């Protein structure tokens, strides 16, 4: 399986309606702390937009809602992975991505037979407090050797000028939040990301 090299992460269907029509082909809906009814609505609305634009939709955390709404992927962190029914995710035809931050987490992720593995934070991130120091791009090469043919997603502090180092070290896709959502012109920045990743598409 090949992942698009530009992996956008946003926290609402409103962002999805703004940015996906620009040509984004892989997006994660990452919503925290909302009631289930609202989450379900957000996922359903995002799915419709993604389907209309040929974009794959990844749902973070809420694997059952992702199954119910017929999304493409579920992304799970290590704690969510321990609690999730990965058999049900697969049986429903969804693919699975798993976060990793150290060697033990990589072993646990690989044991779940995911469809991609994410490594982060490659650079410092302002989005959330992390208990891991920035990994650096060299760690991407180490991870790629360990995951073999499995797609590897790099995440954390990524910007267009950091992409050559990320891809040259073996990442297959680069995930981004704040470089786009906190940019004064998110639409233009999204277009920049699409063209900056073209060479790896
Ligand atoms: C592509 C990608 N990589 C890593 C994460 C982080 O997932 P997780 O560790 O579950 O943390 P939260 O995003 O839930 O705060 C991700 N979401 N996407
Ligand atoms: C959500 C998330 N997970 C990470 C991990 O290392 O698992 S880093 C991260 C934040 C990514 O946001 P930005 O592109 O703004 O740095
Ligand atoms: Mg999570």
| CATH number reported for the structural domain that contains residue 38 in this entry | 3.20.20.70
Q: What is the pLDDT of residue 185?
A: 98
pLDDT tens-place string over residues 105-158: 999 999 999 999 999 999 999 999 999 999 999 999 999 999 999 999 999 999
Of 156, 162, 178, 186, the residue with max ligand 2 atoms within 8 A of its CB, to mutate for a pocket test, comes to: 156
Domain annotation covers residue 1: no
Domain annotation covers residue 201: no
Category of 56 on φ-ψ map: left (φ > 0), alpha (ψ -120 to 50) or beta: beta
Domain annotation covers residue 73: yes
Q: What is the DSSP string of 100-152?
A: ESSHHHHHHHHHT--SEEEE--SS--SSS--SS----THHHHHHHHHHTTS-E
E strand residue ranges, the chain:
6-10, 26-29, 56-60, 73-76, 95-100, 116-119, 152-155, 173-176
Could you tell me the residue range of the domain that residue 88 belongs to?
6-195
Coil vs helix vs strand at 154: strand
Residues 6+ apart with CB under 8 A from 161: none
Cα-to-centroid distance, 68 and ligand 3 (Å)? 18
Number of domains the chain contains: 1
Helix axes 103-111, 138-147, angle to 10 degrees: 30
Q: Which ligand is nearest to the CA of 109?
A: 1
Q: Is the CB of 175 under 6 A from ligand 1?
A: yes
Of 155, 178, 179, the residue with max ligand 2 atoms within 8 A of its CB, to mutate for a pocket test, comes to: 155
Q: Give Cα separations from 132 to 121, 127, 190 (angstroms).
A: 7, 14, 28
Handedness of CA 157, 161, 166, 169 (dihedral sign): negative
> 14: pLDDT confidence band, cut at 50, 70 and 90?
very high
Q: What is the pLDDT of residue 35?
A: 96
Domain annotation covers residue 157: yes
Domain annotation covers residue 54: yes
Rounded to an integer, the average pLDDT of 11-35 is: 97
Q: What is the pLDDT of residue 89?
A: 98
CA distance 162 to 38: 35
Q: What is the pLDDT of residue 193?
A: 98
> 197: pLDDT confidence band, cut at 50, 70 and 90?
very high
Domain annotation covers residue 200: no
ipTM for the predicted complex comes to 0.99
């Amino acid at each position: 399986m090949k992942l698009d090299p530009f992996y956008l992460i946003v926290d609402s269907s409103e962002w999805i309606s703004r940015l996906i029509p620009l040509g984004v082909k892989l997006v994660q809906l990452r919503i925290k702390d909302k009631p289930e009814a609202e989450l379900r609505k957000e996922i359903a609305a995002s799915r419709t937009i993604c389907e209309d634009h040929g974009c794959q939709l990844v749902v973070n955390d809420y694997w059952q809602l992702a199954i119910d709404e017929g999304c493409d992927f579920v992304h799970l962190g290590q704690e969510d992975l321990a609690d999730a029914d990965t058999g049900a995710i697969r049986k429903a035809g969804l693919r699975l991505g798993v976060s990793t931050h150290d060697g033990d987490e990589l072993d646990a992720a690989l044991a779940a037979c995911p469809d991609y593995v994410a490594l982060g934070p490659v650079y410092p991130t302002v989005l959330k407090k992390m208990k891991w120091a920035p990994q650096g791009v060299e760690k991407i090469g180490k991870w790629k050797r360990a995951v073999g043919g499995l797609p590897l997603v790099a995440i954390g502090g990524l910007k267009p000028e950091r992409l050559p180092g990320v891809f040259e070290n073996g990442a297959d896709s680069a995930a981004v939040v704040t470089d786009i959502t906190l940019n004064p012109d998110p639409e233009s920045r999204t277009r920049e990301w699409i063209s900056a990743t073209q060479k790896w598409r």
